[in-house]
Chain A
Amino acid sequence: MDKYEFLELLTNGHGVSGFEYTLSKAVIDAFTPLCDSVKIDKMGNVIAHKKGSGDGAVKIMMAAHLDEIGFMVKYIEDNGFIRFTTIGGIDPRTTIGQEVWVHGVETILGVVGSKPPHLQDAKEQEETIKFEDMIIDTGYSKEKLLELVSIGDTITVKRDTVKLLNTKAAGKAMDDRAGVAALLETLKILQGMNHYPDVYMVATVQEEVSMTGAFTSTYHIQPDIGIAVDVGFGTTPELEKADTIELGKGPGITIGGNVHPTLVKRLFETGKVHGIPCQKDVAPGPTGTDARAMQITKEGIPALVVSIPLRYMHTSVELLDLEDIHHTARLLAQFTNSVKEGELEGLLCF
């Protein structure tokens, strides 16, 4: 399975925060041949362990979150229309006119209906539509729908990932299944390396709402170094250039309080030595990634954030360059391989 196939499998799949279990098997199946052991913990995190030559003397944990933003059924109207609430941060403007999957007893198609322009007054198109004014039409009467769908069922956008020009692709939930795909690619590259650290690859749950999965899995693994592999804001015309990283130019490496400064230095050096492109991404405070959880777990864990550039984050057309997944994986594998026996203390010295 190449990096696109795995990414496509994950992004075309469904699992809003707290409901990632439908994807666990795909991750386990992909990771298992490349690891010593794979398990699912109590929270639903998929934890893969690949031993290094150091017999566990140094442990590096890499986390990419498996969950996606989505919706939840909150009410069913008399005519069968579903009222819904959101899970994670969603711009309501991205939701009208969208096709969705409603994950009930069966997964059924629904559409977020829009009012035809013919019935609108002149000012209406200047007002955004709030979530509470939207409905999902499943084509079923209330009676039939109640046999299939209950309050609390999750809803995800129906979007098949599309390949665009060059090595670009767009779809939903690239945030952060692109990160999970990068973990798989990293594992593949590590197969050819006699790396010293043990590596824990974790597909975490519930990042979008609370980073719950990262907190509990980090507590369990107690890594020496924790790396969040997430997505970063890709450059587009409506964004300040300084707030973004460019597609195709390798992962963003976060600089700031959430990460360990000497590890950041090592990461940039690794990129330079191996000719892997990477970019600076600044974040003074806690990042909105699993690294936030990692950093403050137990007695505190030195963390890093590596971000795949992604345009249109938290829309259903999140767009990335597949080459950046490859650059990210190479960087993570080479970084792992660069940590030698007895080096850790010095490496972490401020």
Chain B
Amino acid sequence: MLLKKLTEACGASGNEKEVRDIIIHEISPFVDSVRIDGIGNVIAYKSGKTPAAGRVMVTAHMDEVGLMIKEIDSAGLLKFLTVGGIDKRVLVSKTVVVGKDKIKGVIGSKPIHLQKRNEWTKVLDINELYIDIGASSREEAEKIVSIGDYAVFDTQYEEFGDDRIKAKALDNRVGCAILVELLKSSIDTEIHGVFTVMEEVGLVGAGPAAYTVEPDVAIILEGTICYEMPDLDTYDIPTVMGNGPAISLVDRATIYDAAFRKRIVEVAEKNNIKYQYRKTSMGGNDSGSIHTSKTGCITTAISVPTRYIHSPLSVISKFDYDNTLALVKAVISDLEKEAL
């Protein structure tokens, strides 16, 4: 299964190879051309039956947040840095896989029995944490792990609840999966499908990709913030799980084109696709780099609401996934008729 394969692959920012290989394998038979650019982005072209009215680029970032080994101590324990925005509080008492051989390791912490009074109220800093792979010495660990190796959470893809999926890295393998499905589908319209690198460390891959493709219109597919704590007021909830794809209004990197957004909403309503707005200005995505590339372009971000992103596990609804794919298809086919 595509989303299982994609989410269980390791692909911290800068180390997207495993994800990229899966994507290229999946899409190659269905596109006219596919290539890897100089920094690792996958750039695919599908001619479709009809040329689009303007050049349409659809993107999803391949990378995920993760860890990088920075030191191996004398006991064979691995000190690490974070890659991308990880709340250090989610790291404790978790399992990870390290390096391309996926060596299993654990991040433990001090037994509560030996803690000072209220010590648990102090957040453990990254420098206080380490990965234990069971090595007995530095020499032994160095045979298996090198400084600079990446590590990611060791989380399985599972379906649960009513129509839910739990996996790591749904931000943004969910976008990758939808883009793969789109490229494999029999859409009529010509599109450029781009899978970018290093979004999580500063929207790095998307700018050069946009420079290459020179889109008139870009659609960014994401797994975006969904946080629905019971004590929040309705207006503080960024997206609601089960309410369909979230259309971005504004975030820290882009003010999205209002005319395009209105057209997407019309398309959604015409096709009876449930949708919602992304009601927070926090966060950002590849649009930030894309809409400012060269002379600029019009962008939108259409996202699957994703709970608990940037932690060992994230959650989406299959309903939202299906409707995001449906909306993106409908928007693209609408772009065939009339340029923005």
Contacts and interface: CB of A to CB of B under 8 A. Distances in A.
A93 B308 contact: no
B282 A118 contact: yes
Interface string A122-161: 0001111100000101111100100000000000000100
B228 interface: yes
A93 B89 contact: yes
A116 interface: yes
A10 interface: no
Interface string B154-179: 11001011111010000000000000
A118 B280 CA distance: 10
A99 B104 contact: no
Contact of A140 (B122, B132, B136, B161): B161
A129 B106 CA distance: 21
Nearest to B106: A317
B113 A126 contact: no
Q: Which of B88, B92, B225, B312 has the most CB of A within 10 A?
A: B92
16 contacts: A89-B112, A91-B115, A109-B158, A109-B166, A111-B313, A113-B308, A115-B87, A118-B309, A119-B238, A128-B123, A137-B161, A170-B108, A170-B132, A313-B111, A316-B94, A317-B95
Interface of B: 73, 75, 77, 85-90, 92-95, 103-115, 120-124, 128, 130, 132-136, 140, 144, 154-155, 158, 160-164, 166, 225, 227-230, 238, 280, 282-283, 307-313, 315
A interface, over-half SS: loop
Nearest to B115: A91
Nearest to B104: A162
A297 B172 CA distance: 59
B interface, over-half SS: loop
Contact of A126 (B123, B140, B282, B315): B123
A317 B87 contact: no
Interface of A: 77-79, 81, 89-99, 108-111, 113-120, 125-129, 135, 137-141, 144, 159, 162-166, 168-170, 233, 236-239, 243, 248, 288, 311-319
Contact of B230 (A79, A91, A98, A239): A79
A91 B315 contact: no
B230 A135 contact: yes
Nearest to B309: A116
